[in-house]
A and B are shown apart, each in its own frame.
Chain A
């Protein structure tokens, strides 16, 4: 089973709006990562947040992590058509395990 699960499965918004995607996981983690995948292409690493961090920013991206709720959110502000892609969260299983396991992703469509 997947360690991380994204929600919603699909999201459709207009350019300029904000997009929020959520990730829930089951076991304690060392870190959580978000990736973007354009259709049929490789995954691109967006941001990594460690278990002792609560919020990180990178450009128009804001990631939060709530370890008590075992959840994370990715906010993309002022979205652009070029943000259209699938977004995945990846978590390790905590402890000595470092292999990132991926959810099924959120498919984001940004309409121009």
Chain B
């Protein structure tokens, strides 16, 4: 157990639907990062939150949004789902987002299948 909790582990839904993925960071970590992993694109950074505020955006589609709540858990909302959104979605947390880096702790991911 890495200390980062992601739910659900698996999600199967139809095209056009909306889903919410949840992440609880490791205790003491203020930063949450969302990544998408697919076979053709590899591991793509989506968005970063630090202590409730959005800090950086990556290759996140407009159909996707995220937020971090006061208790530091984060949710990634995916809407108008397309077949190509099928992927593993990972959340990672870290204590310090500065350039010094302390490594990131990843959750076990949510496998999203859009049918």
Residues of A whose CB lies within 8 Å of any CB of B are 2, 30-31, 33, 35, 40-45, 48, 50, 88, 90, 92, 95-105
Q: A102-B43, A104-B42 are in contact. Are A30 and B100 (CB under 8 A)?
A: yes
B109 beta carbon closer than 8 Å to chain A: yes
A-B contacts, 30 listed (Cβ < 8 Å) = A30-B99, A31-B101, A33-B103, A40-B109, A40-B111, A42-B107, A42-B109, A43-B43, A43-B104, A43-B106, A44-B106, A45-B103, A48-B101, A48-B102, A48-B103, A50-B100, A50-B101, A88-B43, A97-B56, A98-B98, A98-B99, A98-B101, A99-B33, A99-B45, A99-B48, A99-B56, A99-B58, A100-B104, A102-B35, A102-B43
Q: A42-B2, A44-B2, A44-B106 are in contact. Are A30 and B101 (CB under 8 A)?
A: yes
Contact of B101 among A33, A35, A103 (CB under 8 A): A33
Interface size of B as a range:
20 to 34
Contact with A along B41-65 (1 / 0, CB 8 A): 0110100100000001010000000
Complex alpha-carbon distance, A73 and B107, angstroms = 25
Residues of B whose CB lies within 8 Å of any CB of A are 2, 4, 33, 35, 42-43, 45, 48, 56, 58, 88, 90, 92, 97-109, 111
